Structure 1
Amino acid sequence: MTSATAGRTQAAVSLMESLPTVRWDDIESAAEVTERIARRLGDDPELLGTLVERVRRTPELREKCECHALDDKIVLWDDQAKGLRIRLRLANTDQYERVHNHRYSFTAYILRGAYRHTLYATDQPLDETADVERFWPYFVREEAEGRCITLDHEQLHTTITEPETISLMIQSPARKDRAFMIRRSDGQVWYRLGAAEESAERRREVRMSDERFEHWAGRLQAMGVL
């Protein structure tokens, strides 16, 4: 590492360490604080580039980078005491609609692309008996590039994204053990677990390969995100 790179990395770490604690029990307050953080980080491509480069040399962050059916993620910072896990959400080309909630509350700042975002209500338990016809959309909006959205962990929603939509995500510590998901097309139910509850086989399956990491680093630079 050159002295210039080391200086940029230290400056980035100092900035990240100075970020405020987020009170996720007050979702409106959390939305205000995390939007300021998200815009400060997301509007600084050089800073994001330094943080992504740091992930390569930080095994505890590199191990958290994952690939999933609809999107991949690169974890940039993880400070559970402050309520701050910060990552890039990287949308894949293939998309399908699944009504789901999350184990955590979060804020998403859309850096590139767009979401078609739908909020749902239901009157039934969120388990294997759930009827896909009993999830009712009550809010639909196109979330454009530059928009910040904050969602409580209990909120049911779907997001359909344009390919390679990039978002900066700031999420709370986990609020429950598993998140509910149901596919709109066929009603299949499954759950998203935290890493600590997943099998070693599952961890190997979702871990982002070095090749995939480099693919995204290159694409993010080409897009001007880094």
Structure 2
Amino acid sequence: MTTATTKSESEVLAVMNNLPAVDWSDLEAAADLTRGIAHTLGDDRELLAALVDRVPGVPELREKCECHALDDKIVIWDDQEKGLRIRLRLANTDQYERVHNHRYSFTAYLLYGTYFHTLYATDQPLDETADVTRFWPRVIREERTGDIITLHHQQLHTTITSPETVSLMIQSPAQKARAFMIRKSDGQVWWRLGAAEEDADRRAEIRMSDERFSHWRTKLVQLGVL
């Protein structure tokens, strides 16, 4: 099952090239601006479908589509000069808790599903010596379909999702070389690196296959996102 994409390439580019630049150094202003961008894209199924469907024909976007343990991602737009990388976050069924931050600040618009979301504080360095018992929950909340959140790249948090939760992510350019992660169940620490820091084996391991891309394209229609 697929949707009929009625927006032409020129129509898509007219919208996307007209998106405003975002200054992520002012997070409150960035949140207001990206909320509008999120609604422009996420509320227009024809536009969103056209953006997804053009990805296989744009190598620089297709190479950024990845599969990870907890979620997959389809990058639909990348304009670093405007401070905009836009992607779909596609949650897998298997989930576990990892306290982490990000290399970038971001806004997330939940198009389907639920985040069970906890914000954490700690008093220790974020390195291999981190003690998993010294991350304290400060805010526990639930985000549902239609909610929009903005998070600073330094904020530590966990997100457990309902299966196949889909969110539209609008993220800043990278603010640091690596992001901290620690698994709550056993305290294992690791780092999420940017593509430029990953070797060829790692890039090949996480690259989304054509079959997986097709699976998500169909699933997005079934979920009513497209």
Provide the C-alpha distance between the structure 2 equivalents of 1:36 and 1:6, rounded to a whole number of angstroms. Answer: 23
SS at match of 2:28: helix
How many angstroms does 1:137 deviate by?
Answer: 0.2
Provide the C-alpha distance between the structure 1 equivalents of 2:216 and 2:5, rounded to a whole number of angstroms. Answer: 20
Instruction: Count how many residue pairs are aligned between Structure 1 and Structure 2.
Output: 223
CA contact (8 A) 2:5 2:49 kept: no
Provide the C-alpha distance between the structure 1 equivalents of 2:224 and 2:100, rounded to a whole number of angstroms. Answer: 31
How many angstroms does 1:223 deviate by?
Answer: 1.3
How many angstroms does 1:206 deviate by?
Answer: 0.3
C-alpha deviations, 1:155-211, integer Å up to 9, x for none? Answer: 000000000000000000000000000000000000000000001000000000000
- What stretches of structure 1 of length at least 5 have no aligned partner? none
State the partner residue of 2:133.
133
State the partner residue of 2:80.
80
Question: Which aligned pairs between 1:165-184 and structure 2 lie closer than 5 A?
Answer: 165-184=165-184
Tell me whether 1:91 sits opposite 2:69 in the alignment: no
The one-letter code sitting in structure 1 at the alignment partner of 2:145 is: E
Provide the C-alpha distance between the structure 2 equivalents of 1:144 and 1:6, rounded to a whole number of angstroms. Answer: 29
Provide the C-alpha distance between the structure 2 equivalents of 1:198 and 1:206, rounded to a whole number of angstroms. Answer: 11
Question: Which aligned pairs between 1:28-39 and structure 2 lie closer than 5 A?
Answer: 28-39=28-39
Provide the C-alpha distance between the structure 1 equivalents of 2:150 and 2:197, rounded to a whole number of angstroms. Answer: 26
Could you state the TM-score of these two structures normalised by the residue count of structure 2? Answer: 0.97
Provide the C-alpha distance between the structure 1 equivalents of 2:130 and 2:74, rounded to a whole number of angstroms. Answer: 32
1:7 to 1:111, Cα distance in 2 relative to 1, 3 A: closer
Provide the C-alpha distance between the structure 2 equivalents of 1:183 and 1:137, rounded to a whole number of angstroms. Answer: 15
The one-letter code sitting in structure 1 at the alignment partner of 2:144 is: A
SS at match of 2:128: coil
How many angstroms does 1:127 deviate by?
Answer: 0.2
Question: Cα RMSD (Å) of the superposition?
Answer: 1.1
How many angstroms does 1:13 deviate by?
Answer: 1.2
State the partner residue of 1:214.
214
Q: What's the % identity of the aligned pairs?
A: 72
Provide the C-alpha distance between the structure 2 equivalents of 1:143 and 1:7, rounded to a whole number of angstroms. Answer: 31
Provide the C-alpha distance between the structure 2 equivalents of 1:48 and 1:207, rounded to a whole number of angstroms. Answer: 22
C-alpha deviations, 1:104-124, integer Å up to 9, x for none? Answer: 000000000000010000000
The one-letter code sitting in structure 2 at the alignment partner of 1:57 is: G
1:80 to 1:223, Cα distance in 2 relative to 1, 3 A: same
State the partner residue of 1:118.
118
- What stretches of structure 2 of length at least 5 have no aligned partner? none
Question: Which aligned pairs between 1:46-61 and structure 2 lie closer than 5 A?
Answer: 46-61=46-61
SS at match of 2:104: coil
SS at match of 1:37: helix
1:186 to 1:7, Cα distance in 2 relative to 1, 3 A: closer
